[in-house]
Structure 1
């Protein structure tokens, strides 16, 4: 399964808010064996939201969108999703019923709070108010991290792929000095290799066979200088 993650918000592009949602989602998806192929941030603009969703839903098994939910002037994500899918926005009776059960009167809700693309499956917001939605492989989640995480947990089982295994090796050598050993490692073992320099170099091995990953890690540990 491959997925694209789209985060929405002018504040993200202006650097006023750190995009922790994308990082968290990528971790969760990777742990489930799902390949995240794209992470894209778009402004609070219907045309940009619709264009990116249209492009990604054609390329990937699912698109997860976070941010821009609610009834305020800059909450345009549902409108963008509806435009991408050629749907109208309409009040969702099940979402309204959930909100009433949570103590919100329909008369007290700001207009547009429970508007979702026609035909969407509503995703209840256990940690907030604005509902999410799922439709045609597009999943729309809130931007508030606590709300996003709680809502993702309700749909997490819909994202599954091939189990992957990881091992990390730390080398106290320059990254450039490790190139020959990494090349030999790739020739010997069916694993992917990532190299991340800092005070030392962290080499991460990943593969779908646990024994192969463990053997590759053992082979490399014997051939690098440890901190």
Structure 2
């Protein structure tokens, strides 16, 4: 299979970094060359000891885009896995500052990726220093991400599931085979130990956003019946 450029988007504490790193690990174990792009915003917050202000958002988005562009990425012969893109900066700029001026640049960059994965909201929220505001912002951020992609006519796949199942669903969304039982067991005992003992999400076997209507309809029916 030809290497792809993959963007991983999603609200805070939905496992974007974890999924990007897990995918990179699997691909490298399968003999693939992989180039990863880290989240610039996280590095910025750690360096500055605060969250960015409105006037600083565009520079962060531009740095995120540059990190994924040539000459930093040999796109023709390796996978590119980007842990977030400028679109997430644009979403937070709109949510926090009512500033939608970053969208044209962010969406132009987003169009360069072969596939976009959006991490689902089924993981528990975990505090993470300066970057995370709280679980109450996950829903609005998730909505804004999807609205931006859909308005721009960009397709995406939503990835649900706990631990190895989340990774396997992402691999399937990329058109790749999931890990076998032995590989899953090894990973479960190491990288995924934090997820053990937690209940799984309903949509464990699908990475298609088209199925989500059925998912949320089921949840609403259950709540109305209780």
TM-score by length of 1: 0.34
Please identify which structure carries the higher strand content.
Answer: 1
Bigger helix share = 2
Structure with more contact order per residue of length (Cα contacts < 8 Å, sep ≥ 6): 2
The alignment's TM-score, normalised by the length of structure 2, stands at 0.34
